[in-house]
Amino acid sequence: MLHGFDALYRSANRGDDIGGWRVVEFGAGTAKLEKTTPHHCAMEEGIVGAALQAIRTPATLAQERCMRRGADHCLFVISSFITDQRWSR
């Protein structure tokens, strides 16, 4: 799901210069997602969290960087105790 999040975002939003999502790190039970969308971080964090819950992969999200605080992108760190095939599919 995380690797397909950018495609999901683009199918729900219009335009080419709308920012996007990129997986910058992925390992057992952990991932980092870079976000350059104009949408508020709290909303996007909720969407990612709900998507993970929908596929029965509970996780916590933390934000390391934020565009609203001057960074060139937001960076979400995702951690889960799930490390089996549910995480790596």
Query: In the predicted model, is pLDDT for residue 16 greater than 80?
Result: no
Distance of alpha carbon 59 from alpha carbon 45, whole angstroms: 11
CA-to-CA dists, residue 6 to 2, 54, 65, 70, angstroms: 8, 17, 19, 22
pLDDT at 12: 85
CA-to-CA dists, residue 37 to 25, 30, 32, 58, angstroms: 19, 22, 15, 24
Amino acid letter at 61? Answer: L
| Model confidence band, residue 89 (pLDDT cutoffs 50, 70, 90) | low
| Model confidence band, residue 85 (pLDDT cutoffs 50, 70, 90) | confident
Could you give all domains of the chain from N- to C-terminal order, each with its CATH number?
Answer: 5-88 (3.90.1520.10)
Distance of alpha carbon 39 from alpha carbon 42, whole angstroms: 9
Task: Write out the two tokens for 63.
Answer: 């934000």
Model pLDDT for residues 34-73, shown as the tens digit of each residue:
999 988 888 999 999 998 899 888 899 999 999 999 999 9
